[in-house]
Amino acid sequence: MSIRSWLYVPADDDRKLAKIDASGADAIVLDLEDSVAATNRDAARGKARAILDARPPAARTRQLWVRVNPLDDAALVDLAAVVGGAPDGVILPKIEGAADVARLGFHLDALEVREGLPQGSVRICAVATETPAATLRLAEFAGAKLPRLSALCWGAEDLSAALGASTNLDDSGRWALTFRWARSAMLLAAKAAGVEAVETVYVNYRDSAGLEASSRAAAQEGFTGRVAIHPGQVAPINRAFAPSAEDVELARRIVAAFEKEGGVGTVGIDGKMFDIPHLKRASSLLARHEMFSRRS
């Protein structure tokens, strides 16, 4: 799948919805949760469904996801309204632990039957650090069998509220310790579960340079993509999570050197040693590069 940019769009906002096809985002997230006032939820459900219906899976140029409300709120009403539109996936906010992902999976099992969709076709991305309990339980994802789960994301805003914290930053402007800890634990949980790791929102949406630098740092740590809240954030995020030109060049040289030598376990390039793990990384980097080049 590999999604670099997840562009959130409030699903009740026609002007923003009109921008999704030209956005360049790998995935659009039609939001029914925190960017929509409770009084507008019904309208938002109808609009999200219309967007999905107008872009059936076979005709989709980018993935269409829906962020539903939490399970103890209106998740079921949201799901009943949108699953018939065959979304690529559902983002589940404010989970209390991996058991909530399993519960959502059961609801989707039933709704896919009702809608005549292939079993398991609707994927799940869980926002896994919005409650203290979920953050403490991140290790559960390491052993959980959750076939629909394809990504974990983290969020600092709701966690701050749950902690009663007046800020989530330290004196130097970095995430405060509790939030850095949550972020790292989510990254480890995603890798342990074999799913994508999604970096949280960069709220200063006019600061493209800051966004790109911070996204590149996240990519170097192992994050595979990032939330975007404004169309202007998509291009910097896509660049940051795609292999750089230098990375692609080096990967091509590594693959070529192994092919030329034939049957060896190590090669030297410019006085540096490369072995089989380097070859594997180079091959998967080139595969990602080709996939993203076809997409844009």
263 burial type by CB count under 10 A (0-12 exposed, 13-18 middle, 19+ buried): exposed
Structural tokens at position 5:
């940019």
Q: Which residues contact 246 (CB under 8 A, 6 or more apart)?
A: none
Question: Which stretches of the chain bind Mg ion, using CB under 5 A?
Answer: 34, 158
d(CA 3, CA 96): 25
Cα first-last separation, the chain? 15
CA-to-CA dists, residue 139 to 61, 104, 106, 134, angstroms: 35, 19, 22, 9
Of the candidates 156, 201, 235, 240, which one interacts with ligand COA according to CB under 6 A? 201
Q: Is 236 in the site for ligand COA (CB under 6 A)?
A: no
Kind of pairing between the strands at 5-10 and 123-127: unpaired
- Which residue type is seen at 227? V
Residue 104 site contact among Mg ion, ligand COA, none (CB < 5 to 8 Å, cut-off depends on kind): none
Of the candidates 4, 5, 6, 10, which one interacts with ligand COA according to CB under 6 A? 10
Q: Is 16 in the site for ligand COA (CB under 6 A)?
A: yes
Cβ 33 to Mg ion shortest distance, Å: 7
Q: Of 94, 96, 92, 97, whose CA–CA distance to 107 is shortest?
A: 92
Nearer to Mg ion, 73 or 158 (CB): 158
Name residue 228's beta-bridge partners.
7
Q: Of 56, 67, 44, 52, whose CA–CA distance to 20 is shortest?
A: 52
Name residue 274's beta-bridge partners.
267
Residue 158 site contact among Mg ion, ligand COA, none (CB < 5 to 8 Å, cut-off depends on kind): Mg ion
Nearer to ligand COA, 205 or 292 (CB): 205
Under DSSP, the state recorded for 69 is P
Q: Is 31 in the site for ligand COA (CB under 6 A)?
A: yes
Nearer to ligand COA, 229 or 251 (CB): 229
- The site string for ligand COA over 33-62 (x = CB under 6 A, - otherwise) reads -xx---------------------------
Q: Is 230 in the site for ligand COA (CB under 6 A)?
A: yes
Structural tokens at position 182:
């949550």
Cβ 30 to ligand COA shortest distance, Å: 10
d(CA 207, CA 159): 24
Of the candidates 231, 236, 242, 288, which one interacts with ligand COA according to CB under 6 A? 231
Nearer to ligand COA, 10 or 236 (CB): 10
- The site string for ligand COA over 256-275 (x = CB under 6 A, - otherwise) reads --------------------
Nearer to ligand COA, 147 or 210 (CB): 210
Residues that bind ligand COA (CB under 6 A): 7-10, 15-16, 19, 31, 34-35, 201, 205, 229-231
